[in-house]
Every structure is written in structure tokens, then in C-alpha cells.
Amino acid sequence: MKFNNLVFNRDLLVVFALAAAGWGLSAVLLERDFFSPGASAIAMFAGMGVALATGGDFIGSRAVVKRLLPFAIVLLGFELDLSVIGGADIGTIGLLAILATVTMSFLVAAIGAKWLSIGAPLGATLGAGGAICGNSAVLALAPSLRLKPEDIAVVLAAINLLGLIMFFVVVGISDALQLDPIAAGLWAGAAIHAVPQAIAAGEAIGPEGVAVATAVKLSRVSLLVIVVPLFGILGRQLSRDDSVDTGATNWKTALRLPLFVPGFVVAVIVGNLLLPEEAADGLGYSGRLALLPVLAAVGLAVTRTTLQQTGGRVFLVGAISTAALASASLAVIMALYD
């Protein structure tokens, strides 16, 4: 679709203004010891607010998603620390809780997506958002699954809202059940969607809770190194129209990975084995900064029609999946933790 330079420049200005506002507001909240859902989440919700309030079509912002998202994904790979998997603070119980979370999130999201007819790609991204790490997982899978910006926005809105709800649920239920701080930290790290939310829940639990919650949550994030290539291969199959019988899998086609997928894997390897930690973290931080305008642009793609048609169903699938993964991980921890 063509658009003139004036519209394109206007939309870019809006995108980067929202990104800057998200970064600034999050910094202020953290400086004053308030809870922040994260700069990228703030930028996305601000974009949604602008889009819904104005009813405008910010078509120029879609170029930001298309061009910048793959680079952001690759940069995030540099700071993915694989050493946290199986670390002393995780242990067998933590790994089993993570396995329960991942299994239930993907399984229930897939079943719910089919039941409520939102499509396998949306189900897969909802499952990844709950199983792995919220925004980063959704954004890392979206290009392979050929999701439109408005679809990404609906999934991210559901994941962010559910992650915020889980922050209060984990802290409240842990207190009601009088869970040991370590057990509560294990659950926070295994069940809460985004890293900042999991760490904040751990801080609410106590010093022991925050250390364990952080280690478990980062172990889940590390699973991106498996999930991103896997969905790069399976993306074309999941993106097909479920109503059409396409016959046998064409693996030659499926194995034509988007370039960011091998780029992400190479970045993980280089960041873990070759670069100094400071350099790897710096590149990863650049990736997180690059996500700010991407998330703002994703928010600007939301329309009232999109929310009316799929918003409620996407949120319902995400809510059911979240309840399942939280229950499964808590059951594992309560059964095995002494």
C-alpha cells in the first residue's frame, strides 16, 4: 500500500515520541520505587490509546515493525545467558516447574485457539508469551508466523495484562498458602510472564524469593534459543489456513528460515562464548531499546474493529492458558518442595 512522505514522516514522529515517552515514564516509576510494567509495554499501550482515541490509520508505522523488529530480535540474542539453565538456584524442582509451565502453556493455548477459532498462529504466540517471556517471545515468533501488526498488538495486550494479574495472584496466593519464600520465588519465576513482573513479585516475597524468581525466570527466557528456530521452521505450516487440506509437509519450503532466526542463534552463541559480558549486555540493551518504537508501532496498528473481532477471544484463550500453567507449576512445587 502506498502512502506519501508526509504521512510516513508524521507516523514515524508519533512512533518515536511514544517510544521516548514509554522509556521516560518507566524510568521515573523505577526511580521512585513504583512498579513499572516495562518501557516497551508502556509504549505499546500508549500507541493503542492514540490509535483508538483518534481512529486514525498510522500506516507509516508498519514499516518500523517490518524493518526494525528482526534487528531487535538478533540483538536480544547477545544477552541471552544460557549458563542460568540448571544453575544451583534452579535445581530439579525449578526445572520441573518450568517444564510444567511450558507444556501447559503451549498445549492449552493450542486447544483454546482451535476451540475459539482464533487460528493456530495466534494460539502459538499466546502459548509462547506465557511459556517463555511475554513480549520478547511473542515478538520473536511473530515474523515466522506471519502475524499482522494488529494481531501482534492484541496478543501483546492480553499477555501484558495477564502478566500483571499474575503478579498479584502469585504474591497473594503465596501469602495465603504461607509458602516458604524459596517456594514462592520458584512459582513467581515459573508462572509470571514477563521478566520485570517476575522480579517484582520476587521482591514482594523477600530477598530469597527475588533471587530464586530471577534465576527461574531467566532460565525460561533462555528457552528462546530453542523456540525461535523451531517456529522458524514450523511457521509456514502453522500459518496455513486450517480449513484447507494442504497435504504433506513441504520441508524444503519450511526450512527456508527468515534471516533473523539463524542471526538470533549466532548472536546467542557469540554472546555466550566469544564476547565479554559487558559487550554482550550492551548489544542486548540496544535490542531492548530497538523494541520501544516497534512496540509503539504495534500499538498504533490496533483498531476498534480488531478488538471487537478478536480481542475478547484472544484474552480468553490467554487467560485459560495462564490459569493452566500457573496451576501446573504450583502443583509441581507443592508436591516436591520440602
Q: Which of 202, 160, 159, 197 is nearest to 184 (CA)?
A: 202
Q: Which pLDDT belongs to residue 323?
A: 95
Label residue 33 exposed, middle or buried (CB < 10 Å: 0-12, 13-18, 19+): exposed
Q: Which pLDDT belongs to residue 17?
A: 92
Report how far residue 16's alpha carbon sits from residue 4's, in angstroms, rounded to the nearest whole number.
Answer: 19
| Residue 86 in this model has a pLDDT that exceeds 60 | no
Cα 63–chain centre separation = 21
Report how far residue 163's alpha carbon sits from residue 184's, in angstroms, rounded to the nearest whole number.
Answer: 16
| Tens of pLDDT, residues 256-313 | 556 666 787 888 889 888 889 899 889 988 988 888 888 788 788 777 776 666 678 8
| Tens of pLDDT, residues 229-248 | 888 777 666 655 443 333 34
| Residue 2 in this model has a pLDDT that exceeds 60 | no
What does pTM read for this prediction?
Answer: 0.70
Q: Which pLDDT belongs to residue 36?
A: 72
| Residue 194 in this model has a pLDDT that exceeds 60 | yes
Report how far residue 130's alpha carbon sits from residue 192's, in angstroms, rounded to the nearest whole number.
Answer: 8
Q: Which pLDDT belongs to residue 317?
A: 93
| Tens of pLDDT, residues 135-187 | 778 888 888 888 888 888 888 888 878 887 888 899 899 989 988 888 898 99
Helices 181-191 and 149-176 pack at an angle, to 10 degrees, of: 170
| Tens of pLDDT, residues 11-25 | 888 889 999 998 999
Q: Which of 174, 209, 158, 213 is nearest to 190 (CA)?
A: 213
Give just the sign of the alpha carbon dihedral 328, 122, 287, 233. Answer: positive
Domain range annotation of the chain: 5-241+249-336
Query: What type of residue is 80?
Result: L
Query: What type of residue is 306?
Result: T
| Residue 250 in this model has a pLDDT that exceeds 50 | no
pLDDT (average), residues 55-73: 78
Side-chain-side CA neighbours of 130 within 13 Å: the count stands at: 38
Phi-psi region of 119 (alpha: psi -120 to 50; beta: other; left: phi over 0): left
Secondary structure, 3-state, the chain: CCCCHHHHHHHHHHHHHHHHHHHHHHHHHHHCCCCCCCHHHHHHHHHHHHHHHHCCCCHHHHHHHHHHHHHHHHHHHHCCCHHHCCCCCCHHHHHHHHHHHHHHHHHHHHHHHHHCCCCHHHHHHHHHHHHHHCHHHHHHHCCCCCCCHHHHHHHHHHHHHHHHHHHHHHHHHHHHCCCCHHHHHHHHHHHCCCHHHHHHHHHHHCHHHHHHHHHHHHHHHHCHHHHHHHHHHHHHHHCCCCCCCCCCCCHHHHCCCCCHHHHHHHHHHHHHHCCCHHHHHHHHHHHHHHHHHHHHHHHHCCCHHHHHHHHHHHHHHHHHHHHHHHHHHHHHHHHHCC
Report how far residue 162's alpha carbon sits from residue 265's, in angstroms, rounded to the nearest whole number.
Answer: 29
Q: In the chain, what percentage of residues exceed pLDDT 70?
A: 84
